[in-house]
Structure 1
Amino acid sequence: MSGRLLLVDDEPGLREAVQAYLEDSGFTVQVASNAREGWDSLQASQPDLVITDVMMPQVDGYQFLKQLREDARFSTLPVIFLTARGMTTDRIQGHKAGCDAYLAKPFDPDELVAIVENLLGRRAAIQSAADSEETPDIADMARQISEIRSILSQRGELPLGHPPSPVKIDFTPREQSVLDLVAQGLMNKEIARRLETSVRNVEKYVSRLFSKTGTNSRTELVRYALEHGLITNGS
């Protein structure tokens, strides 16, 4: 298995040894000596997984992970904690902070490789499932949206121009853009390309739209948006 990894550790000897072992195992590894360097590296090239030490000066692993989880781009990025602190309370704190795996030093490098492969495999499977669910629905979604528009128009509930909206929902500009594109029958991959963002971010925006409108599917969302005049692009 291959993948792009980011390794953050302030111990040069361990950092170099782990990097060499992971690269020998087929991975591409970027390294950083502290969390700030790690953050800069994330901006330059988004990895598939992060391995980080916990006990680091200035910004420790917990703070680094919190920064990752609060950023939409990295909120679901797999993170492995490496630490000399192997107490149960420390592991619990790590899992509560949102890490995906916790490996106490000293550790067997083969175990680290196995954990990395497992997390990357799981991530790929989830993405593949999402893609397979999405692809066949494009034509059907466009057809359903067209039918919704036709029915509402025949009932006189979809006037031209800017129809009055009996509800007021505060969408962010990006949520509104996603809603408008969903109403055109576009799926997440196409929306991501249009908005120059990731599919993962689009999924988050669609989920927020469901929550704000009280709907559970894209068809329900579009119907609700059309009935209440929430589409802004006139499509």
Structure 2
Amino acid sequence: MPATVLIVEDEPAIAELLAVNIKHAGYHPLQARDADAAKALVDEVLPDLIVLDWMLPGTSGLVFLRRLRADSRTRAVPVIMLTARTQEEDSVSGFEAGADDYMAKPFSPKELVARIKAVLRRRAPELSNEAVTINGLTLDPSTRRVCIEHDGAELPVHLGPSEFKLLHFFLAHPERVHSRSLLLQHVWGNHASIEERTVDVHIKRLRSALKPVGYESIIETVRGSGYMLSKTAQPHGMENAA
């Protein structure tokens, strides 16, 4: 599932230009013309990143950003601010309010997309479209392919949508213990109407899909805490991989 980028911009031409470029980069754009509309969207669907104009009608982007950072639900959502204000003290105010990046108008849409990718890579690696490889196991979000390297060949691993997202999250955050509640939040979303024990079911399915290529032990159970992906786990003899 592509990352969702909320564009909060009151100038329709700029908003549409941003939406086209963000969609072309493989993300899902949402648009809001002011802070009130943005809040309504955020309350409904938590975006993965927000592109926020400073000068908005009514509540300013800076005030809206401070409200986002004051709310535990939205505190960690990355924000890139756009503004025609170019004074040094303005950019300092933006960063102090919690912005992850800051771009002055006029700007290059391509540069903005590059910064979106950089911020997502830094704050939420599992939302990046870049392929990730650990211990011979490769997942490519852009092609939705998972494979392993074996004797100079690539052997495919077939995963369902949830197992794909789960593995992507693990590969993006290796050697870290993730609780069931954290996996629910980051893989299924904060509005997911499923129980924590359902995570166990999907972990079992993921391991079953990795077993034919000998990689099921890469996902370790940490008793009383959750699960983690081990970078040091060694694949064993593959079953029916040829």
> Post-superposition shift, 1:17?
1.2
Q: Which runs of 5+ in 1 are unaligned?
A: 136-187, 199-235
Inter-CA distance 2–57: structure 2 relative to 1 (3 Å threshold): same
Counterpart of 2:22 in structure 1 is: 22
Inter-CA distance 34–191: structure 2 relative to 1 (3 Å threshold): closer
Please give the alpha-carbon distance, in whole angstroms, between the structure 2 residues aligned to 1:88 and 1:27.
Answer: 31
Please give the alpha-carbon distance, in whole angstroms, between the structure 2 residues aligned to 1:54 and 1:62.
Answer: 6
Instruction: Give the residue type in structure 2 aligned to 1:87.
Output: Q
SS in 1 for 2:23: helix
> Post-superposition shift, 1:130?
5.1
Counterpart of 1:134 in structure 2 is: 177
Counterpart of 1:111 in structure 2 is: 111
Counterpart of 1:201 in structure 2 is: none
Please give the alpha-carbon distance, in whole angstroms, between the structure 2 residues aligned to 1:132 and 1:124.
Answer: 16
Inter-CA distance 27–193: structure 2 relative to 1 (3 Å threshold): closer
Q: Name the TM-score, length of structure 2 as normaliser.
A: 0.55
Please give the alpha-carbon distance, in whole angstroms, between the structure 2 residues aligned to 1:14 and 1:91.
Answer: 21
Q: Larger % of strand: which?
A: 2
SS in 1 for 2:75: coil
> Post-superposition shift, 1:132?
3.5
Counterpart of 2:232 in structure 1 is: none
Instruction: Give the residue type in structure 2 aligned to 1:4.
Output: T
Counterpart of 2:71 in structure 1 is: 71
> Post-superposition shift, 1:125?
3.4
Inter-CA distance 193–23: structure 2 relative to 1 (3 Å threshold): closer
Q: Say yes or no: does 1:43 pair with 2:43.
A: yes
Please give the alpha-carbon distance, in whole angstroms, between the structure 1 residues aligned to 2:173 and 2:25.
Answer: 28
> Post-superposition shift, 1:197?
8.7
Counterpart of 1:89 in structure 2 is: 89
Q: Larger % of helix: which?
A: 1
Q: Which runs of 5+ in 2 are unaligned?
A: 127-168, 191-242
Counterpart of 1:11 in structure 2 is: 11
SS in 2 for 1:134: coil
Counterpart of 1:189 in structure 2 is: 180
> Post-superposition shift, 1:73?
1.0
Please give the alpha-carbon distance, in whole angstroms, between the structure 1 residues aligned to 2:76 and 2:48.
Answer: 10
SS in 2 for 1:103: strand
Q: Matches of residues 200-211 of structure 1 in structure 2 within 5 Å?
A: none
> Post-superposition shift, 1:189?
2.1
Inter-CA distance 72–56: structure 2 relative to 1 (3 Å threshold): same
RMSD: 2.7
Counterpart of 1:60 in structure 2 is: 60
The answer to which structure, 1 or 2, has the higher relative contact order (CA under 8 A, 6+ apart) is: 1
- Give the % identical residues: 34
Inter-CA distance 189–22: structure 2 relative to 1 (3 Å threshold): same
Count of matched residue positions in the alignment of Structure 1 and Structure 2: 146
> Post-superposition shift, 1:100?
0.3
> Post-superposition shift, 1:193?
5.5
